[in-house]
Every structure is written in C-alpha cells, then in structure tokens.
Amino acid sequence: MKRYILNTLFALSLFALSSCDEFLDVNSNPNSPIGDNLPLSAKLPGALVSVANQETLQLNQIGSFWGGYWGTNNEGINQFFDLKTYNGQNIRSQREGIPVWENGFNNILYFRLIQEEAEENGQLFYAGTSKIMQGMLFLRLVDMYNNIPFDDAAQGSELINPKYEPGNVVYQKSIDLISAGIDDVKASGVIPQNHGDVLFNGDKVLWAKFGNTLKLRALIRQSEKADAGYISSEIQKISAEGSGFLSAGETAAVNPGYLNSNGKMNPFWASYYRDVQGNTTANYQNIRPTNYLLSQLESKNDPRLERLYVAVDGSYKGVVFGNSEAGNPDFERNATSAFRGPNENGGQATGIFHALNQSSVILSDFESLFLQAEAAHRGWVSQDVALLYNQAIAQSFSYTKVPAAALSSYLDQESVAITSGPNRLERIIEQKWLALNSVSSIEAWNDFRRLGIPNYPRTAASGVTGIPLRLMYPETERGTNNEEVVAQGNDEMLTAKIWWMP
C-alpha cells in the first residue's frame, strides 16, 4: 500500500522527460507534471530537472537577495518585499510563501522512489545517482532549516509525523548516503544508451567526482564547528575512493533539450531575461545589482562587470538593497544598470545569459575549484592553493564570456593575487563571492553565515535590523507535525542559527 501511494504521488508530481528526443515533441514539457507510467530512464531526468529548477530559481533568488547581489529599482519596490524585509512569517506562509521545504522534500521523494525501484531491479546506476542526489537535497534542507527529518523522511501517508534529527547528524548521514551512492554508481555495469542522464550523460566518473565535491562542500561548510578528526577522516575516505573532485570544464549542469516554446525554455532565462516572444520579463526590468556589488567589481577592475551589466551613460549604476530611497530618481529603471544578455551584446552570449537553451547549473566547476582551494589552504588536501584559486577565476571568466587574454592582468593585481593578500581565506571567499553572483548565489549566503565574508550591507528597509540566519519552519509542516516543530526550540529567522554556524 505504501509503495502504491508513493508511486501515485510520484506520477502526479514529477517533472519528467522520457528522453531528449521525446522532449522535442510539442506535447512534452520538462516543467509540467505528467502521469505516465515511466521507466527509470524517464524518471531520472524528470527528477534532475526538478532539482535544477529549484537550484536556479528558488534558491538562487533567495541567495541573490540575501547574498548581497540583487536589489530592485524604484519601479520594482513592491517586488520581493518579503525577501527585502526579512519577513520570515510571510516567507513560511502556506499560500504566498516560498516553499523551500516542500520542494526539497518532494525532490527527495522522487529520488527515493527511483532508488527503491532501481534496487528491486538491480539497476545500480539509478540507485547510486538517486542516493547522491538525496544526500545533496538533505544537506540543502539542513542549511536552510537546521534540524529536519532524515530516517523518517519521504515515507508518504504511512508516516505523516516524521521525527526530526539534529542537523549535524543529518549532515553525517547525508555524507554517508552520498558515499554509498558513489559505490553503487561505480559498481554498476554498462550504462544503457537511453539512460536519461541529463546531468552527466551516463559518465560514472563524473558522478563520482560530483558526489565527492558535494561531500567537500559539506565538510567546508562545517569548518568552523565540526570535530577536526571527523573532517580529516572523511577527507581520507575521499582520497581513498580516488575519483577526485570536479575540475575545470566539469560543471554539473542539467539540460533536457530546452526550446523556444512556453514551458520549454531554460527556466532562468525565461524568468529573468526574455519570454518566448523575446520580450523582457518583469524581473529583468526591475532587478538591479547592488551598489556594493558594483563597487567590488570596479575596485578590482574586474572585466566581468561589463559582461554582466549594461552601462548607463558610460558608467554602472546600482541600487540599495531594501529600497530606502525609493523616491530618488537615481534608482529609477532607466537610470540603473540592467543585466546584459545577447540582445544587449550584439547577439552574442555574455554574462549569465548565454542562450534560451543554456544548461541549468547545479554545481559549477569554478565553485568546485574554490572549494578545493579552501581545502588546500586549510591543509586538508595536498594541492597548490594558488593554482586552484587562479583556475577557479579562469573558469568564472570563461562562464561569463570574458576573453582569456584578460585573465593574466587581472590576477596580477595586488587586490586579487592570492600571494599578496594578508588573509588567503578572505581572498578566496571574496573571489568565490564574485564568481557565484547570480549563478549559485545561495552558496554566497552560506559562506557569509559561516565566515562573515564579504561584509556586504544588510537590508536598508525601514525598521528592520539583523540579517537572516535561516528559514522558519513552514506552515505546511506546522499544520501536520507541529509537535516536532515546537520541540526544535527557537524558530526565529534572525536569531536561530544553523548548527554549523559559529
């Protein structure tokens, strides 16, 4: 009965594609639920697309506002009001909030069902990839809420009051789950040609590297709080496994075959740049870079600046996060710098907008390289810090379409060179912050909560103090599992910390 209920929910909820060829059919849609009885080769891409959508839209948006990158112009003063005012009560609302919890656990359910079916049929590749993705999703939810269900999670109607576990325990179990997934993927046989893997195209080595990089991210996250012996032990396990981490040119990005059709475009492009008819979206018209972000790019003569944004009368103009001076004409739409994309760049890809069918990034090669640079700086791995740092910046330049010839002079600057900075860790995180801008912004907010770097301004909204440290448990959970929610103690967004925060 449990399996029937879960599979019914899966069929009704999953964003699925049976193959890239089928996606090209006008009746296929990667962003709409379908109820077909699908094989694992169709369920895997659907689940991967669903995760990519949450990463690039929902989580990236939260991180972009709370990570110091985005604000809104005067015309957009009423957009994203809850994010700009740190309104945790509204963000957790069942009707008008941001369903991070619901989407996260739905995605875990999708992969749990794939895992169960794969294990029944002895299909280790699907079992392993599902375990890796579940581990990533559990880690994400801890980062947003702290204590969450793990053993009791995704059990359907048989367990509607799942028991919460401490965030640090969930972290350890998630890392173990990813390790088990890597083992399964490596032990799987020949991958079928119609595998449906829209992340790594059936490449088992890349899946192992991705899993190791997720584990490294989790270990770096707890660098200020966890037991050093545990971290050392886990690093040794990664080394013994032998696949290494994602390197230059090995970005974890999903692409099911996006098209210039409603519901089939790259969702980030369709939300923040242009619609099917080529019209600019409301987000494009009203989201603007913060003055702080522009000042950091300009102070370092960063060539990514002109690739990312449109100049206004020869200079770049930002906004104040929180709209404290909404009546000031300096912050009107036409007086501030919009994103630069192909339409503003002679038809050529630039910045974060390359094409309507660009891949959706889950974990970039430059983030992986920055993680490795920090691990090397901390003495966790025996790699060259400067080499990894320089490679990370190079890959960020490549992603934003900065000519390779500009790299050397940029790296030679005293404000950029890893060898000239008084604090190597601060320099690594500063450059990581610049690279993550609007690509994986949630990771910038995570680094800020961990290290306080860079010290970008809080909201300027009237009467708001502090900075968000987490999300509040949602109303959907309070309505069905309130006893567990209450048992977690302080649920205030501005004061309750995630376990790994100092």
All structural domains of the chain, each given as residue ranges with its CATH number in brackets, are: 2-252+361-487 (1.25.40.390)
pLDDT reading at 23 higher than 80:
no
> Are residues 449 and 467 in contact, defined by beta-carbon separation less than 8 angstroms?
no
Query: For residue 434, how far is the Cα from the chain centroid?
Result: 15
β-strand 360-363 against 287-289: which pairing, if any?
A: unpaired
pLDDT reading at 158 higher than 90:
no
* pLDDT score at 296: 98
Cα within 13 Å of Cα(387), Cβ side: 6
Cα within 13 Å of Cα(198), Cβ side: 31
Q: Counting runs of H as helices and runs of E as strands, what totals does the chain give?
A: 21, 6
Distance CA 329, CA 172 (A): 51
Residue whose pair of structure tokens reads 């991210």 in the numeric block: 217
* pLDDT score at 421: 67
Q: What is the pLDDT of residues 55-93, one digit of tens each?
A: 999 999 999 999 999 999 999 999 999 999 999 999 999
* pLDDT score at 24: 30
pLDDT reading at 31 higher than 90:
no
DSSP type of residue 54: I
pLDDT reading at 35 higher than 60:
no
Question: Three-state DSSP class for 247?
Answer: coil
Q: What is the pLDDT of residues 380-407, one digit of tens each?
A: 999 999 999 999 999 999 999 999 999 9
Average pLDDT score over residue span 101-113: 97
Average pLDDT score over residue span 446-454: 98
> Are residues 167 and 143 in contact, defined by beta-carbon separation less than 8 angstroms?
no
Q: What is the pLDDT of residues 243-291, one digit of tens each?
A: 999 999 999 999 999 999 999 999 999 999 999 999 999 999 999 999 9
Calculate the average pLDDT of the chain: 92
Tokens of 270: 């369709």
